[in-house]
Amino acid sequence: MTTYTTTVDSPVGPLLLTSDGTALTRLLFDADPDPGWSTEPCELLDRATTQLGEYFRGERTGFDLPLEPAGTPFQRVVWEALRGIPYAETINYGQLATRVGNPRASRAVGLANGRNPISIVVPCHRVIGANGSLTGYGGGLDRKRTLLDLERRTTGATDPQLSLL
């Protein structure tokens, strides 16, 4: 199977996108493509690039892309729950654990959240600590803050859960 790749410049740095030709499989920060991946044109990566541009310009609040992240069944459940967090809103790890049906699994949910291979589109940046603090983001807390700020500016929303923005 061919893996297509492209790199997109963004306000949070270069983003590496991959696709199997039918779904987006990765969106990673600061990553280099595998030399065996194809840089040939891919319609799905073109759509993803367009939608990311719209997101960063404040013109898009959700993504309409087929996704196929590689992970365990539990991780995939968590990642699907992340997609249900509304734009410009946050929840904490305990709330996310409750959403996936296991209120005591906040640590496991946190680990799955940290292994999300499709950042931004699967909005793991919208998960915060129970006390409202920004915690644990694979792309770094500065990027998490930037993404949350972008979403709040776009909607004019405020989030009473956040204490550090």
Point out the residues that are catalytic: 124
Q: By the 8 A CB rule, do 152 and 162 touch?
A: no
Q: How far apart are CA 124 and CA 46, in angstroms?
A: 23
| CA neighbours closer than 13 Å in the CB half-sphere of residue 125 | 25
The bridge status of strand 24-29 relative to strand 4-8 is unpaired
Q: By the 8 A CB rule, do 11 and 120 touch?
A: no
**Which residues share a beta bridge with 92?**
128
Q: How far apart are CA 99 and CA 45, in angstroms?
A: 30
